[in-house]
Amino acid sequence: MAVKKGKTYELEIQDAAYEGKGIGHLDGMAVFVKNTAPGDVVKARVRKKKKKFCEAQLEEILTPSPIRIEPTCRHADICGGCSWQHVPYSEQLKFKTRHVADHLQRIGGFSDLHVEECMGSEQELHYRNKMEYTFGARRWLTEKEIKQGGDVEQKYFAAGMHIPGRFDRILNLQECHLQDPVSFRILDFVRDYALEHDLRPYDTHKKEGFLRNLMIRNATHTGDLMVNIVTFRNRPEQFKALADAIKEQFPEVTTIINNVNDTWSPTAIGRYEEVYYGPGYITEHIHGLSFRIEANTFFQTNTRQAEKLYEKALEYAGISADDTVYDLYCGVGSLTLCLAQQAKKAVGIEISESSVKKARENAEANDISNTDFEQGDMKDVFSDEIIQKHGKPDILVTDPPRAGMHEDVINQIRELNPERIVYISCNSSTLARDLALLSDIYSVDHIQPVDMFPQTYHIETVAKLSKK
């Protein structure tokens, strides 16, 4: 049979695809269906058809999979924040391990490379130390609300998460289990306060309104709790009243900040910020080091899993006291400082000027003097000039963005030929590609997936490479 767009088919879901969708087959063609699990028999309507695959929308589960469970959150099938809540966590870890192995074999050409079992998180829920909610004037209506018809309560005010693929539609959350439970309680309080005091949400089409985002950051080891509200305008009297109300309702909050984004950019980073309560930052500890995290500081979003990932990276690095270590794409230097504790010298390179500034501050705050940080685009800065300045690396650690490493960076690594490389990746497909480009001079000794984001398909991977 020829598969047709717009038609509904019955099919069995046979596996879990990398992006969290289930995969079945029709007429030899792969069919990807969101919110399904291997073993489900479903009815699904084809929405997109390509040459070798198609995407379909789940319409009905005819026979649920033996592994299917009831999601904890009522929004799990809509929100997009937790694409695998209907799958037991033990099965999620198996899928993630298999996805890494598949990428290494299919993309990297590593036919016999062993992949360790994915290192799971003790917290399957409430694991994030940062949540970013959005206010919107166009609320997403659920199928149930549409079928009911009539007036919908708070139709023009929503506080929650973006609907995947829609910049202007916000799902009005009634619960969220990604961060500590206090996070949703604060969101719920601010939403009620805004409705009562006529603080209107920002309208992305009309370019008007007040409230844009609510960001909450909590520190696992110190208990610090930040509330950062992004607004379209600076209205000190209105914001102070809101900040006072938050502090009265939630005495555990340690700092309250107003980021003002008065541009049309959808970013949750303000053009400037005002601190209304507390120091304007929270403090977190990792590997015995202290880090000051401000409203817009990048930091690993799962603290306990970041500690496991860093321990694995240090183990694979095998640093001695005489080693010079380079940390590429170092961010605010959290891993660089951990490496520096064991090395003669650690050099971090990062494109973000603000992150490099923060990395230097972190080094000073932790009284670590054997570090240097360089700022710029990696393909330009990671050059012979840097090597002459800081010395040749004995060990190289790299943690690139999802796109992986630029060809010029890989060529420079090949020229330098350090004894060991530790490659930390948030995208195992580009990891596989880059490892293949190094495989003629390096052996891949270990591959360890680490689950930083339970209930999602995202996976971090740590690889150890040794010079042949």
Q: Residue 34's CB: how many other CB atoms inside 10 A?
A: 18
Q: Residue type for 11, please?
A: L
Choosing from 79, 118, 176, 426, which is the catalytic residue? Answer: 426
Taking alpha carbons only, the member of 405, 402, 406 closest to residue 458 is 402
Taking alpha carbons only, the member of 223, 96, 83, 250 closest to residue 161 is 83
Q: Residue type for 380, please?
A: D
**3-state SS of 170-237?**
EEECCCCCCECCHHHHHHHHHHHHHHHCCCCECECCCCECCEEEEEEEECCCCCCEEEEEEECCCCHH
Quote the CA–CA distance of 107 and 137 in Å, as a whole number: 43
* 426 tagged catalytic: yes
- Contact between 113 and 104 under an 8 Å Cβ cutoff? The reply is yes
- CB proximity list for 150: less than 8 A, separation 6 or greater: none
Quote the CA–CA distance of 468 and 406 in Å, as a whole number: 23
- Contact between 160 and 172 under an 8 Å Cβ cutoff? The reply is yes
Q: Compute the Cα dihedral for 358, 361, 367, 372 and give only its sign.
A: positive
**Which residue do the tokens 């037991």 mark?**
88
Quote the CA–CA distance of 432 and 337 in Å, as a whole number: 27
DSSP string, 123-173: -SSS-BSEEEEEEESSBPPPHHHHHH-S--TTTT-EEEEEPTT-SS-EEE-
Q: Residue type for 22, please?
A: G
Tokens of 334: 């959290």
Tell the burial category of 151 from Cβ atoms under 10 Å away from its Cβ (0-12, 13-18, 19+): exposed
Tell the burial category of 145 from Cβ atoms under 10 Å away from its Cβ (0-12, 13-18, 19+): middle
Edge-to-edge order in the sheet of strand 255-260: 170-172, 158-162, 130-136, 211-218, 225-231, 255-260, 272-277
**Which residue do the tokens 């038609």 mark?**
7
Question: How far is CA 76 from each of CA 48, 166, 406, rounded to the nearest angstrom?
Answer: 23, 17, 36
List residues with catalytic annotation.
Answer: 426
